[in-house]
Amino acid sequence: PDYETDDIDHFGNRRVRPVGELIQNQIRVGLSRMERVVKERMTTQDVEAITPQTLINIRPVVASIKEFFGSSQLSQFMDQTNPLTGLTHRRRLSALGPGGLSRERAGFEVRDVHPRHYGRMCPIETPEGPNIGLIASLSTYARLNRYGFVETPYRKVAKGKVTDQIEYLTADQEDRSVIAQANAVIDDKGRFTEDRVLARARHNEVDYVAPNDVEYMDVSPKQIVSVSASCIPFLEHDDANRALMGANMQRQAVPLLKPQAPIVGTGLEFRAATDAGDVIGAEQDGTIEEVTAERVVIAAKTGHERHIYKLEKFRRSNQSTCMNQRPLVREGQKVKVGDVLADGASTDNGELALGANLMVAFMSWEGYNFEDAIILSERLVKKDILSSIHIEEYEVDARDTKLGPEEITRDIPNVSEEVLADLDERGIIRIGADVGPGDVLVGKVTPKGETELTPEERLLRAIFGEKAREVRDTSLKMPHGEFGKVIGVRLFTREQGDELSPGVNELVRVFVAQKRKISEGDKLAGRHGNKGVISKILPEQDMPFLPDGTPIDIILNPLGVPSRMNLGQVLESHLGWVAKHHFDDGNGHVPAPGAWHDADPQWVSTPVFDGAREDEILDALDSVASRKTEYPLVNKVGKAQLYDGRSGEPYDNEITVGYMYVLKLSHMVDDKIHARSTGPYSMITQQPLGGKAQFGGQRFGEMEVWALEAYGASYCLQELLTIKSDDV
- 675-700 burial, b at 16+ Cβ within 10 Å, e below that, comes to eeeeeebeeeeeebbeeeeebbbeee
| Pairing between β-strand 554-556 and β-strand 523-525 as defined by DSSP bridges | unpaired
DSSP-assigned letters across all residues of 108-122: HHHHS--GGGTTTB-
Q: Mind listing the pLDDT tens digit for each residue in 410-455?
A: 988 888 999 999 999 999 999 999 999 999 999 999 988 766 777 8
User: 8-12, 149-153, 302-306: lowest mean pLDDT where?
Assistant: 302-306
Strands (E), 73-223: 92-94, 135-137, 143-144, 150-158, 161-169, 179-180, 197-200, 206-209, 216-218
Q: How far apart are CA 178 and CA 218, in angstroms?
A: 11
Question: What percent of the chain clears pLDDT 90, i.e. is strictly above it?
Answer: 74
Please, are residues 9 and 110 in contact by the beta-carbon 8 Å criterion? yes
Q: For residue 698, name the pLDDT band (cuts at 50, 70, 90).
A: confident
Q: How far is CA 486 from the centre of its chain?
A: 24
> Which pLDDT tens digit goes with each residue over 77-115?
999 999 999 999 999 999 998 888 999 988 899 999 999
Whole-angstrom distance, CA of residue 669 vs CA of residue 87:
27
What is the structure's pLDDT at 192?
92
Give the pairing of strands 356-362 and 554-556: parallel
Q: What interhelical angle do 19-44 and 59-71 show, nearest 10?
A: 150
Burial of 636: CB neighbours in 10 Å, binned 0-12, 13-18, 19+: middle
pLDDT by residue (tens digit) across 487-517?
Answer: 999 999 988 888 999 999 999 999 999 999 9
Nearest to 214 by CA among 260, 163, 264, 253: 163
Q: 144-219 has which fold?
A: Rna Polymerase Beta Subunit; Chain: C, domain 4 (2.30.150)
How high does pLDDT run on average in the chain? 91
- The answer to whether residue 588 scores a pLDDT higher than 70 is no
pLDDT tens digit sequence for 556-587: 999 999 999 999 999 999 999 999 887 765 55
In CATH terms, are 357-387+520-664 and 391-516 the same topology? Answer: no
The answer to whether the beta carbons of residues 608 and 232 sit under 8 Å apart is yes
CATH class of the domain comprising 253-354: mainly beta
- Cβ proximity of 112 and 275 under 8 Å: no
CATH superfamily, region 357-387+520-664 = DNA-directed RNA polymerase, subunit 2, domain 6 (2.40.270.10)
The structural domains of the chain, with segments of one domain joined by +, span 144-219, 253-354, 357-387+520-664, 391-516, 674-721
In CATH, the architecture of 391-516 is Beta Barrel (2.40)
